[in-house]
Amino acid sequence: MSTLARARDPFALAPADRERLAAHVEEALRRARQSGGEVLGALTVSVDPAVDPSAVAFASRRRDEPWSCFEQPDRDRFALATLGELRMLAGDTNVGKRRASGSRRTAGEDANVGKRRASGLRRTAGEDRFGGVARAWRELLSTAVADAADGPRGAGLVGTGGFAFAPDGGRSSHWAAFPPAALRVPEVALARCGDDVRLTLAALAAPDDTREDLLARLDRRLAELRLAALPLLDPAPAGRYRISSAMPPEHYESAVARAVERIAAGDLKKVVLAREVQVDAPSAYDPAAVFGVLREAFPACYLVCVGRGEASFVAASPELLVRREGLRASTVALAGSTRRSADPSVDAHLGEQLRQSVKDREEHAIVARRIERTLRPRSVWLAAAPEPALVQVANIQHLATPIRAQLAHPISAVELAGLLHPTPAVGGEPHDRAMALIPALEGMDRGWYAGALGWTDAAEDGELCVALRCALLTGSVARCYAGVGVVRDSDPAAELAETEVKLQALLPVLAG
């Protein structure tokens, strides 16, 4: 293909790439007919370094289809954005069927494809949802026809999505688009690291598909990809914002006080309690504009936007749950927080107070010990920093202990996430007692808040963060979440104030 043609369309395939795509699709079809099941076929190519993966995803998404964006700009401009859904390994069978059968298909495509997709879904809600999703992903990869792994992290075949905080979380109506476990296999993925940007096109071949139909679907998708900048957030929308707490602040302080009583009685050592604040906006939120503001304000954080239709979940999380690269696993214990100050001297003083705080150090140590106990039996070696460091983002600073491990045997990124989730940074200690107490005291469905968000690739490597500093956007309604760790020395009023600090990550963006 000529240089001029590629300049007009940065996603146009060169003749050799198109031939390779046709060969992969044909082989996937052969395997599908031989096995009687569905087989992934995919092509990965380099595209213009100027391509912004997230902006392309927002500009090119079809109505009501799933899409996702994951970024961490300060880590060599990492970005992974996806469009469409070939298969969803979902947390609820009925939700999965609705998603699959509701996928929009163009004229001439097989109307039974949605039904076939649904019939292959597995029920992965419950305690084994991480393991169930990991096994289903591994099975799908076992027959896939794709290019050899190359390029930036996340390039090639990927699954992206998230897991609710609780095994059966997200049952409330406003969480309908976000089941307890949802790993989606996209039709299009764009991965970037530095100036290396890769486009992956994928098709799921069924025995009764044809080579021509599958290639035509991929051609239509390529033709729909658009280059566009992220839209700007309206600085002065007509109308007023209304902010309200799902529960009165007094309810939250009372919940903290009751938790302190349970800790003092020896029932548990720590429990994290969260609250929900709702924002009613004068017009519908644009998740692309919200995401754009967050990535400018929080470039060191794990930036996430996952959605379908008018529902989207956005986060600017400071906390890594797990990263797997071969046999190397990385995570971080993040617990203990205080505010920032524009005055450098005051900011440094606040950080030092946090370092010396007995209450915060105890809360932090509980998290670090649990992570180490989980990983050590599965590792050749484990290394943790002897003292927590300060992690500072725009409006808050945390105590953080990086933890690295060399795994004794391969464990996928998704399964590692399942072993670690929920850490005491968002749950409590002991785990079982805290998990029973949290819904009783909070009185809300956390959904994906404090759950796990991220991606995994064809090598089962990947990266998942903890869903913090987040909001669920549905039309003109935003539900924001923030929680704190309660220990024996916790003061209810102080803990309420800490939730206010954490909510300030998103409230200024969502409430004008």
**Which whole number is the average pLDDT over 300-304?**
96
- Those residues with Cβ within 8 angstroms of residue 117's Cβ, 6 or more apart along the chain or in another chain: 86, 87, 88, 100, 101, 103, 204
Q: 49-83: buried (b, 16+ CB within 10 Å) or exposed (e) per residue?
A: eebbbbbbbbbbbeeebbbbbbbbeeeebbbbbbb
Q: Is 372 a catalytic residue?
A: no
Residue the block writes with tokens 């993040």: 334
Over 60: is that where the pLDDT of 4 sits? no
417 band by pLDDT with thresholds 50, 70 and 90: very high
CA–CA distance, 455 with 405 (Å, rounded to integer): 20
Higher pLDDT, 501 or 123: 501
User: Any idea which of 204-213, 268-277, 316-325, 334-343 has the lowest mean pLDDT?
Assistant: 334-343
Over 90: is that where the pLDDT of 370 sits? yes
Of the residues 85, 319, 429, 460, only one is catalytic, namely: 319
Task: Kindly state the tokens that stand for 489.
Answer: 């020395």
CA–CA distance, 60 with 401 (Å, rounded to integer): 39
Over 80: is that where the pLDDT of 52 sits? yes
Of the residues 97, 269, 270, 502, only one is catalytic, namely: 270
Over 60: is that where the pLDDT of 202 sits? yes
Task: Kindly state the tokens that stand for 110.
Answer: 């097989």
Cβ atoms 329, 364 nearer than 8 A:
no
Q: Is 97 a catalytic residue?
A: no
Closest CA relative to residue 338, chosen from 273, 392, 257, 298: 392
309 band by pLDDT with thresholds 50, 70 and 90: confident
CA–CA distance, 46 with 197 (Å, rounded to integer): 6
Over 70: is that where the pLDDT of 104 sits? no
**Which whole number is the average pLDDT over 457-478?**
97
CA–CA distance, 280 with 173 (Å, rounded to integer): 17
Please, where are the H alpha helices in 298-380? 344-356, 358-375
Task: Kindly state the tokens that stand for 453.
Answer: 């968000």
Over 60: is that where the pLDDT of 32 sits? yes
Residue the block writes with tokens 């754009």: 292
Strand partners of residue 43: 201
Cβ atoms 185, 70 nearer than 8 A:
no
Higher pLDDT, 366 or 9: 366
Q: At what angle do helices 211-224 and 15-35 cross, to 10 degrees?
A: 130
% of the chain beyond a pLDDT of 90: 81
Q: 89-102: buried (b, 16+ CB within 10 Å) or exposed (e) per residue?
A: bbbbeebbbebbee
**Which whole number is the average pLDDT over 444-450?**
96
Residue 8: predicted pLDDT: 66
Cβ atoms 151, 44 nearer than 8 A:
yes
Over 70: is that where the pLDDT of 448 sits? yes
Q: CA of 440: how far to CAs of 127, 173, 271, 434, 452, in Å? A: 19, 19, 12, 10, 22
315 band by pLDDT with thresholds 50, 70 and 90: very high
Over 70: is that where the pLDDT of 490 sits? yes
